[in-house]
């Protein structure tokens, strides 16, 4: 997948506004498994490749190393299991200029393996929200899988990604919360999609439930992380009560839906898993999605 991504990046239609592109790849595998792919890649003359090795599994540390290595005025993030459209960078930049934005986000569209169960595909469990180009974006739709940012905004923050969230996930949510608190302008560009391969080991209900549980945990941690201790306790109690009620309601709806529609049952089961994640998010137990 990394080789496919690098090829797609090298084939970008840049236009006159983009003179050069520096591709920074951070290998976060202790075994340095990406080295052979990176050594073999040869991009066009307007592209340069920098690769770093972050042997300690921590997604925030890896992202921070990428930011430190980047020398351009703008930084685009894309995951190694994604492939951009042919004019991805050009479209993101055009929207940034038109909207005078500090960050521009684009859609991540799933690519399904042929072996996926039809009902999972029909349920659109891997689909994400899409917005009209130019629509303001808040932290709910802000993620690092497809985004162009002004480098200066990132380098004004410590990290800029918080390594505390580097094993659990949520480091990107904290980053974008911090940037929004600094009055940075976020907008959407719906014409700059990237395509994400749904790995076969993720195309199942158990993985979806684990992901929802993790999202619930990291969400409540992010909600409370910057608050003073007393306010965090009060707000955390309020959120826990709400999550507990929603958990009970969701479980009931799962049981009601199971005889009629497993798609609807899984939808409510994911909601229940997210609420369970919120309830455990303030405990010592933290689900580790990266480097576990």
Secondary structure (DSSP) of 264-283: HHHHHHHHHHHHHHHHHTTS
Q: Tell me: do 107 and 216 sit in the same domain.
A: no
Task: Report whether 95 contacts 133 (CB < 8 A).
Answer: yes
Q: Tell me: do 193 and 264 sit in the same domain.
A: no
Is a pLDDT exceeding 70 seen at residue 143? Answer: yes
Higher local confidence (pLDDT), 106 or 44: 106
> What token pair was written down for 167?
């094993």
pLDDT band at 290 (very low <50, low <70, confident <90, very high): low
Mean pLDDT value across residues 201-222:
94
Q: Is residue 286 part of a domain?
A: no
Task: Establish whether the linkage from the previous residue to 160 is cis, with ω within 30° of 0.
Answer: yes
pLDDT band at 282 (very low <50, low <70, confident <90, very high): confident
Q: H or E segment at 76?
A: strand 74-78
Number of domains in the chain: 2
Task: Report whether 103 contacts 29 (CB < 8 A).
Answer: no
Q: Tell me: do 96 and 37 sit in the same domain.
A: yes
pLDDT tens for 183-203 read 999 999 999 999 999 999 999
Least confident of 32-36, 125-129, 182-186, 233-237: 32-36
What is the domain range of residue 244?
A: 207-280
Q: Tell me: do 272 and 233 sit in the same domain.
A: yes
Q: What angle do CA 276, 56, 223 make, to 5 degrees?
A: 30
pLDDT band at 291 (very low <50, low <70, confident <90, very high): low
């Amino acid at each position: 997948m990394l080789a496919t991504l690098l090829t797609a990046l090298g084939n970008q239609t840049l236009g006159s506004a983009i003179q050069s592109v520096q591709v920074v790849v951070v290998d976060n595998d202790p075994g340095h498994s990406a080295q052979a792919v990176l050594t073999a890649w040869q991009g066009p003359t307007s592209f340069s490749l920098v690769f770093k090795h972050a042997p300690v599994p921590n997604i925030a540390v890896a992202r921070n190393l990428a930011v430190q290595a980047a020398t351009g005025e703008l930084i685009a993030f894309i995951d190694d299991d994604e492939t951009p459209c042919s004019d991805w960078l050009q479209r993101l930049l055009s929207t940034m200029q038109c909207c005078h934005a500090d960050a521009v986000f684009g859609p991540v569209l799933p690519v399904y393996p042929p072996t996926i169960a039809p009902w999972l595909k029909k349920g659109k469990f891997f689909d994400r929200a899409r917005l009209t180009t130019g629509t303001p974006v808040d932290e709910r739709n802000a993620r690092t899988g497809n985004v162009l940012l002004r480098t200066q905004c990132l380098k004004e923050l410590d990290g800029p990604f918080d390594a505390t969230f580097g094993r659990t996930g949520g480091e990107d949510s904290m980053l974008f919360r911090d940037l929004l608190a600094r009055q940075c302008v976020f907008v959407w560009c719906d014409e700059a999609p990237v395509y994400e391969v749904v790995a076969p080991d993720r195309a199942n209900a158990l993985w979806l439930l684990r992901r929802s549980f993790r999202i619930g945990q990291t969400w409540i941690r992010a909600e409370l992380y910057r608050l003073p201790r007393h306010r965090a306790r009060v707000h955390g109690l309020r959120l826990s009560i709400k999550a507990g009620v929603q958990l009970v309601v969701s479980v009931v709806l799962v049981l009601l839906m199971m005889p009629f529609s497993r798609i609807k049952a899984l939808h409510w089961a994911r909601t229940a898993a997210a609420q369970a994640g919120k309830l455990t998010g303030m405990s010592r137990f933290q689900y580790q999605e990266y480097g576990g």
